[in-house]
Structure 1
Amino acid sequence: MTTQALIYLFVGASFALYIGIAIASRASSTSEFYVAGGHVHPVVNGMATAADWMSAASFISMAGLIAFLGYDGSVYLMGWTGGYVMLALLLAPYLRQFGQFTVPDFIGTRYYSNAARVVAVICLIFISFTYIAGQMRGVGIVFSRFLDVPVDLGVIIGMGIVFVYAVLGGMKGITYTQVAQYCVLIFAYMVPAFFISFLVTGNPVPQLGLGSQVADGSGMYVLQKLDATLTDLGFTAYTDGSKSMIDIFAITAALMIGTAGLPHVIVRFFTVPSARDARKSAGWALVFIALLYTTGSAVGAFARINFVDTVNEQSYAEAPDWFTNWEANDLIAFNDRNGDGVM
């Protein structure tokens, strides 16, 4: 069986699993459709919340940001993770305590104002459309790469699948579908991470591999190797930060507040039985997300080393297959400034 056939099989099985779960757990009441009946276990809700957050930005872009920004990329880890701490302490328990179905309902009830409710609806729509635009682009890129289809068709496929299981199951179906999604996503992320960690350092655990020596006989540690390689090529050292303290503070604060205010994340805390469970589910979400985030920083460093080792001084005509595939999807480009045909 070819690699492409295996990809089709894996993706098709995943879709069938999601739709099957949505059908099996379809909502039978308004409460189940909007808030899964309000009786989701904190661990389950934490896993579903983690799947909510492990979207295109985290799953596709985070390791890439860290790989090419180096130390400066750590601000995204701090901001996004800190947002969940803010959620757990300041928002989640109070949202659940009011027992409303949506954030605008909560705001309208809390402030006794229909005007505030309307403003919340407008903000919700604006945020949702802005966020979905980026997510759908990410979906299109993933499907275009793995299913060998145009990006536009990839977006349509992704939207169709989400529409089916969201309409069939409501929040109840989405919750248990997202638990399955988390398992699939973390498996798909961790397996390559284990392999690239072993390839670069000889240690299959990415978090430990990041602090290990590179398996090339140089005796250098991963970050030392990265710093030396990048400075030799004329780039800034990987561990050198270029952002000022005020920049780091401002970006971290913006990411924290943005994370805490995401509508599809906030609504997850309406699905647990109590305010205490809302706090617990936020804590569990952090645990499940940490598995991805601690791996992502390591993958970013390994990927940068592997990328340089693979393409540096390589003839463009002999570029690896993955390079030409990504180039075809506008994910990478080669600009031959000196005209020698060597990357």
Structure 2
Amino acid sequence: MDQQQWSYLFVGLTFGLYIAIALWARAGSTKDFYVAGHDIHPALNGMATAADWMSAASFLSMAGLVAFLGYGGSVYLMGWTGGYVLLALLLAPFLREFGKFTVPDFVGDRYYSKVARVIAVICALMVSFTYIAGQMKGVGVAFSSFLGVPFNWGIFIGSFIVFVYAVLGGMKGITYTQVAQYVVLIFAYTVPAIFISLIVTNNPIPQLGFIGNMSGSEISMLDKLNTVVTDLGFTEYTSTTKSKIDVFCITAALMFGTAGLPHVIIRFFTVKSAKAARKSAGWALMFIALLYTVAPAVGAFARMNFIDTVNEATYIADSENYEERAAAILAEGGKPVPEWYKDWEKTDLLKFNDLNGDGMMQYRGPAAPDGLENEVVPNRDIFVLANPQIANLPGWVIGLVVAGGLAAALSTAAGLLMVISSAISHDLLKSTFYPNMSEKGELRAARLSAFAAVIAAALIGAFASSLPFVAQVVAYAFGIAAASLFPIIVLGIFWKRMNKEGAIAAMLSGLIPTMAYIIYFKSEYGSEAGWWFGVSPEGIGFVFMWVALAVGIVTALVTPAPPSAIQQLVEDIRIPGQRGALHE
């Protein structure tokens, strides 16, 4: 079978499995729909959490970031990994002990205020829709690769698949689907990495291969890559142009943003107790590490192979006569544009602009010694999917990677849709405006909300091709979560004097300036020269997080203390079993 047939086989089998699981685990109650009945085993929940966490940003975009930013891309590795440790140790067990469905639910009860709950819903929706914009771009990239269709068609096809198993199964269906998706995506990520590591470094362990020597050479992989990229005018691979303050702020924003992400936090409500939540977090960390430790190697191999196959290649405009034209170029001692490039060119995610009219593809950095301009513009999000093709791996490996990319993008998109659905149906309708709504009515509202969210996500995704790479868009969501939700969650757990006035002030003082900063500096009016303290939009959430914490604490101190029952509640949730048993 050729690579397209392998792709159809793997994607068809995995999608059939996902939909079968959604039908088998179809939610029959709001408890099933929101929190999977509180009865998911910690190991399975850890696997589902890992799939939810390792989104298109992790699977598709992170290695592309590392490939093109080199050392500068490590902020995403450090921030996301450290953030999950922070969430697992600092917040997850206590939130599970509280026993509520969602983050706005926690805010509404902890801060005894409908206003605080509504603002928390707005924050959660802002985070989720910003995050889902990145995911839908990943869905578009993956489906356009799989079907060879334009980007926007990929978006709408993927949205339909998400709708089927998210709306039918709710959190129960999504959880078991994500277990299957984790198995698919981890195999899809590591198998080609092992193949390529063997080819490039003769070492089957990618984590060791990329810091070892090239095959048959005494030159290390990273030294060789440094030489190649600097000769073409790019920044040395093992260095970065980012300032130290920006590196620190981006890493911190990703860390603290993780601890405020609604779609990750909600996963810890699907287990029986705070003890199970801790175990679940441990399992998830182990499952996440399997991918995150491989990503730097995948990125380095992708950059090396991309340059080897594309730079100075003769472009062939007519894909139908590709083989004949390529053979003629080879016979003349030239290097034809690789076939994988022609496949990806159809998706509009790779572009060649022949600026000097010589028919040769010059890939150059801003400081190219030969003075030539760059003519090859790759979308960084394609490289995990394209890497097996670039390395000429077997067709079944390429098909497996396509299935894995789709699993990663769809698993997180489904988790985010659940946050959006529960925020509207449970936190706004049931808990705020229509408290007498029946369980059947709430479940219907949840499914309608999920359906509306799928439509909105598809429309957002349709414009996502003009957005930055997936991981950068996702980083904005983390910054918003760090500035708006993290302060009131951590203060709500660890400071019983924190009150509703402080919570409202903290959320608004974090959300509004962070959103304004991102929008302004990513518009045509903003420029890097105007960044405050040299901090980029990806890292500004960390700065405004401290503003929100300070505003919340000061406001709480100058306004009345919360009721004694609320203060006792804060004491109770920090004692295992004290409160959680009431919500089993």
TM-score, length-normalised on structure 1?
A: 0.96
| CA drift at 1:62 | 0.6
2:105 match: 105
Deviates more, 1:190-199 or 1:148-157: 148-157
Deviations 1:167-197 (A, max 9, x none): 2221111111000000011111112111111
Cα distance between partner residues in 1 of 2:236 and 2:125: 42
1:1-343 map, 5 Å: 1-215=1-215, 217-317=216-316, 318-343=336-361
Tell me the distance in 1 between the aligned counterparts of 2:192 and 2:154. Answer: 23
What secondary structure, in the 3-state scheme, does the structure 1 residue paired with 2:360 have?
Answer: coil
Q: In the TM superposition, what whole-angstrom CA distance separates every residue of 1:184-231 from its partner, at most 9, and x where no partner exists?
A: 11111112111111111111221121122111x331111111111112
What does the per-residue CA deviation read over 1:63-82, in whole Å, with 9 as the maximum and x for residues that have no partner? 01000000111010001111
- Structure 2 CA distance for aligned equivalents of residues 137 and 256 of structure 1: 23
More displaced, 308-317 or 165-174?
A: 308-317
Other structure's SS at 2:355 match: coil
Greater radius of gyration (CA): 2
In the TM superposition, what whole-angstrom CA distance separates every residue of 1:128-154 from its partner, at most 9, and x where no partner exists?
A: 222112211210111111122232222
Moved more, 291-300 or 163-172: 163-172
Give unpaired runs (5+ residues) of structure 2: 317-335, 362-584
- 8 A Cα contact 1:227 1:238, kept in partner: yes
1:340 is displaced (CA, Å) by 2.2
Deviation at 1:52, TM superposition (A): 0.6
Partner residue in 1 for 2:384: none
Instruction: Say if 1:315 and 1:341, in contact at 8 Å, map to a contact too.
Output: yes
SS in 2 for 1:211: coil
Residue 30 of structure 1, CA deviation: 2.1
| 170-179 or 141-150, larger mean C-alpha shift | 141-150
1:27 deviation in Å? 2.2
Partner of 2:522: none
The DSSP-based 3-state class of the residue aligned with 1:238 is: coil
Q: Alignment partner of 2:293: what SS?
A: helix
SS of residue paired to 2:297: helix
The residue type equivalent to 2:139 in the other structure is V
Looking at structure 1, the residues matched to 70 and 5 of structure 2 have their Cα atoms a distance apart, in angstroms, of 36
Show CA shifts across 1:39-93 (max 9, x none).
2122111110110122111111110100000011101000111110111122211
- Contact conserved, 1:26 with 1:172, CA < 8 A, in 2? yes
**Contact persistence 1:86–1:256 (CA under 8 A):** yes
1-side partners of 2:110 and 2:213: how far apart?
A: 55
Instruction: Pick which of 310-319 and 39-48 moved more.
Output: 310-319
Contact map agreement 1:35 1:268 (CA 8 A) in 2 = yes
Read off the aligned partner of 1:261 and give its amino acid letter: G
Kept after mapping to 1: 8 A contact 2:18/2:177:
yes
Structure 2 contact 150–348 (Cα < 8 Å) conserved = no
For 2:214, what is the secondary structure of its paired residue?
coil
* CA drift at 1:313: 2.3
Distance, in Å, in 1 between the alignment partners of 2:306 and 2:129 is 34
Quick check: 1:139–1:154 contact (8 Å CA) kept in 2? yes
Deviation of the 1:337 alpha carbon: 3.4
Rounded to whole Å, the distance in 2 between the matches of 1:328 and 1:137 is 16
Task: Tell me how far apart the structure 2 counterparts of residues 235 and 335 of structure 1 sit (CA, whole Å).
Answer: 19
Q: Is the contact between residue 49 and residue 264 of structure 2 (CA under 8 Å) also seen in structure 1?
A: yes
> Do the aligned partners of 2:166 and 2:174 also contact (CA within 8 Å) in 1?
yes
Residue type matched to 1:52 in 2? D
The separation in 1 between residues aligned to 2:272 and 2:295, in whole angstroms, is 33
Query: For 1:196 and 1:339, how far apart are their aligned partners in 2?
Result: 34
Q: Does the Cα contact within 8 Å between 2:140 and 2:151 map onto a contact in 1?
A: yes
**Residue aligning to 2:427:** none
State the SS of the aligned residue for 1:333: strand
Please tell me whether the aligned partners of residues 200 and 306 of structure 1 are also in contact (alpha carbons under 8 angstroms): no
Alpha-carbon distance in structure 2 between the residues aligned to 1:35 and 1:88: 18
Distance, in Å, in 1 between the alignment partners of 2:73 and 2:200 is 21
Secondary structure of 1:146 counterpart: helix
Structure 1 gaps, min length 5: none
The offset of 1:28, in angstroms, is 2.8
* Sequence identity percentage: 70
Give the residue type in structure 1 aligned to 2:21.
I
1:316: Cα distance to partner?
2.1
Structure 2 contact 148–347 (Cα < 8 Å) conserved: no
Residues of 1 paired with 2:23 and 2:80: CA distance? 32
Compare 237-246 and 266-275 and name the one that shifted more: 237-246
Distance 1:335 1:262 in 2: 40
